[in-house]
Amino acid sequence: MLVSEREQLRDNIEAWVAQYGANRSSLIPVMSEVQQKYGHISEYVMQVVADILDIHPVEVDSVVSFYSFLGHKSKGRFIVRLCRTISCEMQEKDRVARQLENDLGIRFGETTPDGHFTLEWASCLGMCDQGPALLVNERIYTHVTPEKVHDILEECRGTFGVYRPNAQTMMNIQDTDTSEMTFTGVDGRDGLDKAMKMKPEGIVDAIGESGLKGRGGAGFPTSLKWKLAAEMDDEQKYVVCNADEGEPGTFKDRVILTDFPDLMFDGMTIASRAIGANKGIVYLRGEYMYLRASLEEKLVKRRQDGLLGSNVSGINGFDFDIEIRMGAGAYVCGEETALIESLEGQRGEPRNRPPFPVNTGFMGHPTIVNNVETFAWVPCILVKGSSWFKKIGTEKSTGLKLFSVSGDCEKQGVFEFPLGISIHDLLKEVGGEDAKAVQVGGAAGYCIPAGQFDRAISFEDVATGGSIIVFGPERDMLAVAKNFMEFFLDESCGQCTPCREGNLRLFEGIEMLEEGRCSMKYLKDLRQLGESMQVACKCGLGQASPCAFLSIIDNFNDEIMGRVSAAC
């Protein structure tokens, strides 16, 4: 590299650091800028950034290697990422993959010799209802067929030179089919106004009375989380919106972020009033980069309208603003402490809990992390009343919930149902009555066989963050299990032994089953291993990682048995 190039590079990095702040928390945004501008992150860049941020180059290296969207290897100008997660897999992504390889003349993980294209796998892109989905730089393509592959690549080749990766291209995306939604009929502004007239404790109480629980899937009572954060004595508190929607089969947050972002922002503002925070952060998954511009526009508008900034809504002394921070391709960052680590410029590795984020979260300050949908329900509850929400659903799972439905059913899309709905009723609504199984809760969820379709989707029975994947009578359940294990094999953060090595062994076990090399004894060993993983992994995601494997092994014994080797 020429000296002048190096100086230019250093200048750029210094400008980005100045923009994002001269502390480690800026590491990932700065690295993302470098990645976008230069196509890779060189060793020189890592050392310069380390120098400026006063950390070690090896730490920068470590962070870069953790996130799928950052890398040291020089990549092509167009990075083509094909989703290989279950819903796309079920929609013949293999044919698309083959065509991509044929057309480009490279394998996955490689770059064309001319440096134009890099071909990679992606984990769930949140387009499960419109698969197979393909991401070219930040541009998303859905319903991709082998025929369309050629057109897409030609379009890239043709626009070469004037292609602007930042250009927001939404026309590829079809509207997601949705049922009628409460969100459509609510003006979040009314909820916000109402909240601003209440005392902070009053807001917490109102949410508490509604019984709202976290819509991300863990089902922690929202008001309790807020109450704990509100009780902390700290001048600096944070409201973080978890928009890292990475669970396979989940795309309802994408719909909220596209169609109802103001509801979410209203909810965040109300939360900040409730706990006494002055800073909000939306952690948006890197795969949703194309949504960023419209969200930023909304924020500008809100600032103009006095809904963000100093003295929000005319309340003296209530300062609150929201920043959007991008993820960089790591499923595990959906775990709240991993998300905070990522915000702090670290590898997205879950922390030891306790302490919890409400006590020591982002930068050591009290932080609440809630899902996009949770925030969106908040203004609705204030507008329509806590008792309205509480009356819907079951005693322990109140209210309505959005479900992302994909797989073998007539109507894929986002549906609003009351919690407590039976799987059977849900299937009837989406035209999937002949299903032999339903995966509730994505890769980290459970596979429910037809015999248990009377079970209720609720926190007390089958919990979900919204992912519903329907498997028709013809599906090979072992292949399904394999896809899920493949997902965890790639997405485990790798810090704790049971998740890092355990998922590898479970995956290998499935391969052995496929080949008829797995003895009954070994299958039993793997089953027990899965049980150990459920109790011994460090974080919730690790603990949930063997669930799909275990439920498929248990519930589809007849499909599995024929493949077990005779040798015991």
Partner 1 sequence: MSNLLENTTSRRAPASACLRNTGVVDTSVEVTLHIDGKEVTVPAGTTILVAAKKIGIRIPTLCYHEDLCVAGVCRICVVELEGQERLEASCAYPVTSPIKVRTHTRKVRMARRHILDLMLSKHYGECYACFRNNNCELQALAREYGVDFFRFGHPDKPRYKVDRSSQSLVRDMDKCILCRRCIRTCIDLQEVGVLDIDNRSCESKVVTFGDKPLGDVICINCGQCINRCPTGALRANDPTDDVWAVIDDPTKHVVIQTAPSPRAGIGECFGLEPGQPLTFEMNTSLKECGFDKVFDTNFAADLTIIEEGTELLLRLHKALVEKDESVSIPQFTSCSPGWVKYLEHFYPEYIPNLSTAKSPQQMFGTVIKTYYAQLNNIDPKDIVTVALMPCSAKKFECNRPEMCDSGFKDVDYGLTTRELAQMISEAGIDLPNMPKSDFDDPFGSATGSGVIFGATGGVMEAALRTVIELVCGIKVEDLFEHADIIPVRGFEGIRFMELPITEVGPVPDLLKNLVGDWDWLKGATLKVAVAHGTANAKRVMEDIKAGGRCSECHFIEFMACPGGCLGGGGQPIPTSPAIRAARAKAIYAEDAAYEIRKSHENPAITKIYGEFLKDGPCSHESHKLLHTHYLPRGKYIV
Question: What count of other Cβ atoms lies within 10 Å of the Cβ of residue 504?
Answer: 14
| 203, 195 contact by CB (below 8 A) | yes
For partner 1, give the closer residue by CB, 206 or 544: 544
- Give least dist CB 523 to partner 1, A: 13
Choice between 328 and 409, CB closer to partner 1: 328
Question: Nearest distance from residue 568's CB to partner 1, in Å?
Answer: 15
Give the whole-angstrom CA distance, residue 400 versus residue 187: 17
Contacts of 304 (CB under 8 A, 6+ apart): none
- Beta partners for 135? 81, 140
Closer CB to partner 1, 232 or 293, in the complex: 232
**Smallest separation, CB 376 to partner 1 (Å):** 29
Query: Is the peptide bond between 354 and the residue preceding it cis, with omega within 30 degrees of 0?
Result: yes
We find the least distance from the C-beta atom of residue 361 to partner 1, in angstroms, to be 9
- In the bound state with partner 1, the residue whose beta carbon lies nearer, of 156 and 550, is 550
Q: Which tokens is 40 given?
A: 């890779």
Judged by CB, which is closer to partner 1: 65, or 557?
65
Helix ranges (H only) for 84-212 are 86-89, 93-104, 146-158, 188-196, 200-210
Q: Which is nearer to partner 1, 465 or 502 (CB)?
A: 502
Q: Which residues contact 529 (CB under 8 A, 6 or more apart)?
A: 502, 505, 506, 546
For residue 355 the two structure tokens come to 């302490």
Dihedrals phi, psi of 564, to nearest 5 degrees: -75, 135
Copy the structure tokens of residue 325.
């921070």
CA distance 568 to 565: 7
The CB-of-256 to partner 1 minimum distance in angstroms stands at: 28
Strand partners, 242: 283, 371
Least distance between partner 1 and beta carbon 457 (Å): 21
Name the residue nearer to partner 1 (CB basis): 172 or 346.
Answer: 346
Minimum CB separation of residue 232 from partner 1 in Å reads: 7
> Would you list the DSSP string of 357-401?
TTTS-GGGS-EEEEEHHHHHHHHHHHHH-HHHHHHSB-SSSBSEE
Report, in Å, the least distance between residue 501 CB and partner 1.
Answer: 4
Which amino acid is located at 480 in the chain?
V
Specify the residue, 41 or 289, whose C-beta has the smaller distance to partner 1: 41
Nearest distance from residue 507's CB to partner 1, in Å? 9
State the virtual CA torsion across 71, 74, 75, 76 in degrees, nearest 10: 160
Specify the residue, 240 or 330, whose C-beta has the smaller distance to partner 1.
330
As measured in angstroms, the least distance from the Cβ of 351 to partner 1 is: 9
The tokens describing 103, both together, are 């057309």
DSSP string, 87-141: HHHTTTHHHHHHHHHHHHT--TT-B-TTSSEEEEEES--S-GGG-S-EEETTEEE
Nearer to partner 1, 265 or 459 (CB): 459
Binding site for partner 1 (CB under 8 A): 43, 46-47, 51, 55-59, 61-62, 65-66, 72, 232, 330, 332, 347, 352, 354-355, 359-360, 366, 488-498, 500-505, 525, 528-529, 531-538, 543
Q: What is the arrangement of strands in the sheet containing 413-418, beginning at the earlier edge strand?
A: 413-418, 400-407, 467-471, 437-440, 446-449
Indicate left, alpha or beta for 87 from its phi (over 0: left) and psi (-120 to 50: alpha).
alpha
Query: Tokens 């819907």 belong to which residue?
Result: 392
- C-alpha 356/C-alpha 497 separation (Å) is 22
* Nearest residue (CB) to partner 1, 295 versus 533: 533
Of 369, 364, 473, which Cα lies nearest the Cα of 427? 473
| C-beta of 291 vs 529, nearer to partner 1 | 529
Residues 6+ apart with CB under 8 A from 385: none
CA distances from 128 to 51, 323, 414 (A): 42, 28, 10
Instruction: Give SS3 for 39.
Output: coil
Tell me the closest approach of the beta carbon of residue 401 to partner 1, in angstroms.
24
Q: Among residues 96 and 533, whose Cβ is nearest to partner 1?
A: 533
- Shortest distance in whole angstroms from residue 47 CB to partner 1: 5
Query: With contact defined as beta carbons under 8 Å apart, do 277 and 308 qualify?
Result: no
**Minimum distance from residue 44 beta carbon to partner 1 (Å):** 8
